[in-house]
Amino acid sequence: MKSQGKTFLLIWAIVDCCTSRAAIPIKQTETAADKRQCTVQAEEVVTLYTSANNGAGPLWCYGSTVIARQSEDVYLSVIETGKDVPPLCNTRWQLWRRNIDGWKLMQTEKEFRQREPCPIAVFEKGPIFLSVNPSTEAPGTQYGRCQPLVLEFDPQNLDGTARIHEPVWADGSYFTDHSYRGFAADGANGELLLVNINAKTGEQFVSYRDRRGSWHQKGKIKFPIRACYPQVALRDGCAAVLAIGDIVEPVEQWRKLKFEKLKSQWDYVFRRLFYTCTDNIRTTGFGELIEIDTVEKTCGHIQNLDLYIDSAGASHLLYLKRPHQYAFIRDKYFPGEPMTAHLEYVVVKAGKVVSHMTLTETSEGSSGLEPAFARFHVGPDEELYAIVAGTEAGEKQRGFGNYIGRIPAGPGRPSFERVDLRYPFHNFFTNTPRGGSKPSDVIDLFGIADDSPNLRYARIRLRSNGG
């Protein structure tokens, strides 16, 4: 099954937020503890995960968040695997809340009708939403029809009956258990945006909910090739989508060599990164597609990581780039070239790339931070941070961990600090504005560390004048 192999993409991520250790590049300081950018306030196991063997693990929807903050409460969507329920749609959503009393499971879907995790969104003052995709066919059906819905929960009555919304789509939609959907909220204005892939054509169909609660079909996005795992953002009418190409290996000799070495029939590649936007989703469709980057010619790999729309309408993009994915292909076809990873940061305004910076990359020197995964965090004054999972090389050779660095408004790279989380995350979600969470000095992380099958949460607070 093609999708089962994709879960490896989600196990790379490893981010270490803020800590009292020195910045990267490494430098010793007498007052490092006083200069730290943030403080870890909690590390907790929320629940456990049992593999559903359906190709979609608990972090599979990495383009859309499953954790959101509303004031002092944190909301979390987790999938639960049904015992003896046949795949593919053999999981159900759980809705959790964390308040001053800790984590509590508030509500669970009655039947196991989901394949994928169910992204979450909140309004700053108002409901909680889940994007769900229940199967409409018999249990055990594979690649069967599903019906995308949005569930609305009252935070004052979180265990009460959810209101069911049916998004509106353009003609010709065909949705299955492989939704590759993106879900976003404008938390301040009370609006939602949902995209869902047509399983036959690869087009992303678009549905928009305005502040009055009405749903509108907004056509479809046609990429040059099938593109999946979209990050979707919505702010003051501006809407943006960042998606990665997802096709079978197109180069025959590379495909043969990979099968020889890996013995896997699954061979989908992620090499071309696409972006599109509209300045006003209420009146205008998505504009011309931009190919942000490609590693097509070097058998590389790109993972789209995050997207943020600022107050001026500019889109900030974050992605991981590996020019060569496999050493054995590099050795045969690109001998002598290094195996490297690069964390790339791009700003797009009015449909044009206006800046492009490498935030951190594999170092050939004695120190540096090699990235494996990352997310943005937006501070209370809309300052932008990168939270990175990666491996640190330097005098202490501290290895893998989670790091944080503030992205400068002008030239220059961030200075990354390591956070001494007991269990650094390999892959994680954040309380992102894309999910409706308000920019904050609190960072909520949810994901997987080295103690799988635990699903973990960490709360980290930025220093008020951090950066």
> 451: how many CB neighbours lie within 10 A of its CB?
11
The pLDDT of residue 272: 98
- Alpha carbon dihedral 358, 329, 227, 175, in 10-degree steps, equals -140
**CB neighbours of 440 closer than 8 A, spacing ≥ 6?**
69, 378, 379, 380, 431
Q: Are strands 368-378 and 384-393 parallel, antiparallel or unpaired?
A: antiparallel
C-alpha 103/C-alpha 446 separation (Å) is: 13
In angstroms, the Cα distances linking 104 to 41, 95, 107, 116, 420 are 19, 9, 9, 22, 26
Q: N- to C-terminal Cα distance for the chain?
A: 45
Of residues 147, 149, 162, the one with CA closest to residue 106: 162
Nearest-5° angle of CA 430, CA 434, CA 438? Answer: 75
CA distance 186 to 342: 30
The predicted pLDDT at position 297 comes to: 98
Distance CA 351, CA 287 (A): 8
DSSP state of 5: G
pLDDT at res. 160: 96
Per-residue pLDDT of the chain (467 residues; tens, 9 = 90+): 444 433 333 333 333 333 332 233 333 333 445 567 899 999 999 999 999 999 999 999 999 999 999 999 999 999 999 999 999 999 999 999 999 999 999 999 999 999 999 999 999 989 999 999 999 999 999 999 999 999 999 999 999 999 999 999 999 999 999 999 999 999 999 999 999 999 999 999 999 999 999 999 999 999 999 999 999 999 999 999 999 999 999 999 999 999 999 999 999 999 999 999 999 999 999 999 999 999 999 999 999 999 999 999 999 999 999 999 999 999 999 999 999 999 999 999 999 999 999 999 998 766 789 999 999 999 999 999 999 999 988 655 668 999 999 999 888 899 999 998 999 999 999 999 999 999 999 999 999 999 999 999 999 999 865 44
User: How is residue 324 written in tokens?
Assistant: 């060569």
pLDDT at 411: 84
- Kindly report the backbone phi and psi dihedral angles of residue 432, in degrees, each rounded to the nearest multiple of 5, phi listed first: -85, 150
- 127 prior amide bond cis, ω within 30: no
Q: What is the pLDDT of residue 398?
A: 66
Residue-wise DSSP of 108-162: E-SS--BSS---EEE-TTS-EEEEE--B-S-TT-SS-BB--EEEEE-GGGTTSPP
**416-447: per-residue pLDDT in tens?**
999 989 999 999 999 999 999 999 999 999 99
Q: What torsion, rounded to 10 degrees, do the Cα atoms 434, 438, 441, 444 define? A: -50
pLDDT for the residue 463: 84
Kindly list the domain boundaries of the chain, sorted by start residue. Answer: 2-462
Rounded-to-integer distance, Cα 425 and Cα 428, Å: 6
C-beta separation of 74 from 66 below 8 A: no
The dihedral sign for the CA sequence 270, 273, 276, 277 = positive
Predicted local confidence at residue 129, as pLDDT: 98
Interval 128-161: pLDDT, tens:
999 999 999 999 999 999 999 999 999 999 999 9
Topology given in CATH for the domain delimited by 2-462? Methylamine Dehydrogenase; Chain H (2.130.10)
